[in-house]
Amino acid sequence: MSHIYEALQRAEAERKSGAQAVATPEEPEHKSLAFAAAMPPVVADVVQAPEVTASALTEEPVTVDSSFLSDVRRRPWNPSFERLPALERGGVGVEQFRSLRSRIQEFRDLRNLKTVLISSGLPQEGKSFIAVNLAINLARHKSSKVLLIDGDMRCSSLHHYLGSEFHPGLPDYLSGKASLQEVMQFPEEAKDRDPSMTAVLNNIAFIPGGDGGDLAADLSASKRFDELLTAVKPHFDWIIVDSPPVLLVSDAVNLARSCDAVLLVARSGVTTFPVAQRAQQELKASNVIGFVLNAVEKPPMSGSYYYRYETKKE
Ligand SMILES: Nc1ncnc2c1ncn2[C@@H]1O[C@H](COP(=O)(O)OP(=O)(O)OP(=O)(O)O)[C@@H](O)[C@H]1O
Ligand SMILES: [Mg+2]
């Protein structure tokens, strides 16, 4: 059994016995939230799902010219620093995401791995938080080029983290209403921004989630998503895809078919063991490489793997 399952089971037992739970998503954001994004043994110990079977290329893959990135527009970004610990110069948050990045890198060494879908069973477990902070940390490393896609077309939120426009977005591309260049964006230059932060953000391209509404399920199953990834893959080192809760809607399962790997998020004190199990089960046809135990307040195991991150008080 993986350490993450043990941690979840222990958390559930504590909750049942009336022990103090960690902060829940309903609590105001300025309250302290624990953070433990990447525990090396957690990601490493998860049982491997079967080989990816559904990331086959379309019959006639769309290709984009190598100059297409120069046509992508720059838009204003005003990052929400309180929710982006990976943007800080150093500290616990940066370390945790660096640790997560290392674990994913190890999987890449074993097999072809570039597109990673982030998912979880239920809402508010931290999928978007992990997706955007992981993308930033990947972009910090050797100036890697990262594409961040908000695949939650029903309730997109990554634009809140980046402080960017959310429209046009992925649903506009998938429905054929907009081109790739129209839905993709780079950050506009901001004079007052720290140069090192500017360098990191300049390595990130973003496709927001737009507003897919009721069409989101159909759009997520569209072959255009697979074509999109195939076309942009040569231009990026990493592609991170956020998604909606896998136990509520089918979108994440659909999107995962086109991705090389899936990383599941469990929120300490909130995600129950059965929910984590069911989330993994739903995605069994994809390559689930592991769980991230998010928002850990009290280290349940070896202190060296669990750290505490507190959001800045306003
Ligand atoms: N480790 C953490 N530390 C601090 N804040 C966090 C942490 N994880 C998540 N949050 C905050 O908790 C809230 C919910 O997180 P997030 O939006 O990432 O969840 P989600 O799983 O994407 O939810 P949904 O399924 O509704 O899209 C957000 O306000 C986010 O900033
Ligand atoms: Mg989300």
Q: Which of 73, 112, 60 is nearest to 231 (CA)?
A: 60
Residues near ligand 1 (Cβ within 6 A): 25, 29, 33, 35, 83, 120, 123-129, 152, 155, 157, 244-245, 294-295, 309, 311
Q: What is the pLDDT of residue 189?
A: 93
Hey, what's the torsion of the CAs at 225, 244, 148, 28, to 10 degrees? 160
Task: Let me know if residue 26 belongs to a domain.
Answer: no
Task: Let me know if residue 29 belongs to a domain.
Answer: no
Task: Let me know if residue 190 belongs to a domain.
Answer: yes
> What are the beta bridge partners of residue 293?
266
| Ligand 1 atom at minimum distance from 36 CA | 1
Residue 25 CB coordination number (10 Å): 14
| Ligand 1 atom at minimum distance from 37 CA | 1
| Ligand 1 atom at minimum distance from 265 CA | 21
Kindly identify the ligand whose nearest atom is closest to the C-alpha of 264.
Answer: 1
State the sign of the Cα–Cα–Cα–Cα dihedral 185, 188, 192, 198.
Answer: positive
Q: Whose CA is nearest to atom 4 of ligand 1?
A: 33
The CA distances from residue 227 to 55, 69, 180, in Å, are 10, 17, 11
Note the pTM of the prediction, 2 decimals.
Answer: 0.82
The domain tally of the chain equals 1
Domain span including residue 83: 3-8+34-305
CATH number at residue 246: 3.40.50.300
Q: What is the pLDDT of residue 68?
A: 84
| Ligand 1 atom at minimum distance from 35 CA | 1
Task: Let me know if residue 133 belongs to a domain.
Answer: yes
Task: Let me know if residue 23 belongs to a domain.
Answer: no
pLDDT tens digits for range 180-224:
999 999 999 998 999 999 999 999 999 999 999 999 999 999 999
The CA distances from residue 260 to 50, 59, 116, in Å, are 12, 18, 6
Q: What is the pLDDT of residue 51?
A: 29
Ligand 1 centroid – CA 33 distance (Å): 10
Task: Let me know if residue 20 belongs to a domain.
Answer: no
Q: What is the pLDDT of residue 24?
A: 31
Q: What is the pLDDT of residue 12?
A: 56
| Distance, CA of 121 to chain centre | 14
As a whole number, mean pLDDT of residues 282-286 equals 97
- Residues 77 and 162: their CA atoms lie apart, in Å, by 6
* 188 backbone φψ class: left, alpha, beta (φ>0; ψ -120 to 50): beta
Ligand 1 centroid – CA 128 distance (Å): 6
Question: What value does the mean pLDDT of the chain take?
Answer: 81
pLDDT tens digits for range 60-113:
446 777 788 888 999 999 999 999 999 998 888 899 999 999 999 999 988 889
Task: Let me know if residue 19 belongs to a domain.
Answer: no
Task: Let me know if residue 24 belongs to a domain.
Answer: no
pLDDT band at 2 (very low <50, low <70, confident <90, very high): low
- Residues 271 and 265: their CA atoms lie apart, in Å, by 9
